[in-house]
Chains A and B, each alone.
Chain A
Amino acid sequence: MKACGRVHKYGDNVDTDVIIPARYLNTANMEELAQHCMEDIDADFAKNVCKGDLIVAKSNFGCGSSREHAPAAIKASGVSCVIAKTFARIFYRNAINIGLPIIECAEASEKIEDGDEVEIDFDSGVITNKTKNEEYQGQSFPEFLINIINSNGLLNSLKDE
Chain B
Amino acid sequence: MGMTMTQKILAAHAGLDEVKAGQLIMADLDLVLGNDVTTPVAINEFNKSGFSEVFDKSKITMVMDHFTPNKDIKAAAQCKQCRDFASKYDIKHYYDVGDVGIEHALLPEKGLVVPGDCVIGADSHTCTYGALGAFSTGIGSTDMCAGMAKGKTWFKVPSAIKFNIVGKLPKYSAAKDVILHIIGMIGVDGALYRSMEFSGEGLKNLTMEDRLCMANMAIEAGAKNGIFAVDEVTKEYLKGRTDREYTVYEADPDAEYDEEYTINLDEIRPTVAFPHLPENARTFDDIPEIKIDQVVIGSCTNGRIEDLRCAAEILKGKKVAGHVRCIVIPATQNIYLTAMKEGLLEIFINAGCSVSTPTCGPCLGGHMGILAAGERAVATTNRNFVGRMGHPESEVYLASPYVAAASAVAGRIAQPADVV
Binding site for B on A (CB under 8 A): 13, 15, 17-18, 21-23, 25-28, 39-41, 59-60, 63-69, 72, 86, 88-90, 93-94, 97-98, 153-156, 158-159
Q: How far is the CB of A111 from chain B (nearest CB, A)?
A: 21
Q: Is the pair B188, A63 in contact by a Cβ cutoff of 8 Å?
A: yes
A15: B residues at CB distance < 8 A: 383, 385-386
Q: Is the pair B67, A69 in contact by a Cβ cutoff of 8 Å?
A: no
Query: Is B330 an interface position by the 8 A CB rule?
Result: no
A26: B residues at CB distance < 8 A: 67, 71-72, 74-75, 78
A137 to B282, CA, bound (A): 40
A15 to B188, CA, bound (A): 11
B142: A residues at CB distance < 8 A: 68, 94, 97-98, 153-155
Q: How far is the CB of B41 from chain A (nearest CB, A)?
A: 5
Residue of B nearest to A15 (CB): B385
A88: B residues at CB distance < 8 A: 189, 192, 222
A63 to B388, CA, bound (A): 13
Q: How far is the CB of B206 from chain A (nearest CB, A)?
A: 26
Query: Is B200 an interface position by the 8 A CB rule?
Result: no
A90: B residues at CB distance < 8 A: 124, 138-140, 219
Q: Is the pair B138, A155 in contact by a Cβ cutoff of 8 Å?
A: no
For the A-B complex, the count of residue pairs with Cβ-Cβ distances under 8 Å equals 129
Asked if A60 meets B189 with Cβ closer than 8 Å, knowing A13-B277, A94-B140, the reply is yes
B392: A residues at CB distance < 8 A: 18, 39-41
Q: How far is the CB of A94 from chain B (nearest CB, A)?
A: 4
Interface residues of B in 39-65 (CB under 8 A from A): 40-41, 44-45, 48-50
Q: How far is the CB of B79 from chain A (nearest CB, A)?
A: 10
Residue of A nearest to B364 (CB): A22
Q: Is the pair B189, A86 in contact by a Cβ cutoff of 8 Å?
A: yes
Q: Of A21, A98, A154, which one neighbours B146 at CB under 8 angstroms? A: A154
Interface residues of B in 69-121 (CB under 8 A from A): 71-72, 74-75, 78, 121
A28: B residues at CB distance < 8 A: 40-41, 44, 78
The 4 closest A-B pairs by CB, nearest first: A94-B140, A68-B140, A26-B74, A97-B142
Q: Is the pair A60, B192 in contact by a Cβ cutoff of 8 Å?
A: yes
Q: Is the pair A60, B222 in contact by a Cβ cutoff of 8 Å?
A: yes
A68 to B43, CA, bound (A): 13
A60: B residues at CB distance < 8 A: 188-189, 192, 222
Residue of B nearest to A69 (CB): B41
A44 to B370, CA, bound (A): 23
A67: B residues at CB distance < 8 A: 37-38, 140
Q: Is the pair B188, A13 in contact by a Cβ cutoff of 8 Å?
A: yes
Q: How far is the CB of A112 from chain B (nearest CB, A)?
A: 20
Question: In the complex, which of the residues A18, A28, A41, A69 has the most CB atoms of chain B within 10 Å of its own CB atom?
Answer: A28
Residue of B nearest to A27 (CB): B74
Q: Is the pair B189, A13 in contact by a Cβ cutoff of 8 Å?
A: yes
A88 to B48, CA, bound (A): 28
Q: How far is the CB of B341 from chain A (nearest CB, A)?
A: 33
Query: Is B123 an interface position by the 8 A CB rule?
Result: yes
Query: Is B143 an interface position by the 8 A CB rule?
Result: yes
B383: A residues at CB distance < 8 A: 15, 17, 64-65
A64 to B392, CA, bound (A): 16
Interface residues of B in 368-383 (CB under 8 A from A): 370, 383
Question: In the complex, which of the residues A90, A94, A154 has the most CB atoms of chain B within 10 Å of its own CB atom?
Answer: A90
Q: How far is the CB of B55 from chain A (nearest CB, A)?
A: 15
A158 to B49, CA, bound (A): 9
Query: Is B145 an interface position by the 8 A CB rule?
Result: yes
Interface residues of B in 133-173 (CB under 8 A from A): 138-143, 145-146
A-B contact pairs, 14 of them (CB 8 A): A13-B277, A18-B386, A22-B365, A23-B390, A26-B67, A63-B222, A65-B364, A66-B121, A66-B123, A68-B41, A88-B189, A88-B192, A94-B140, A98-B142
Q: Of B121, B193, B277, B366, which one neighbours A23 at CB under 8 angstroms? A: B366
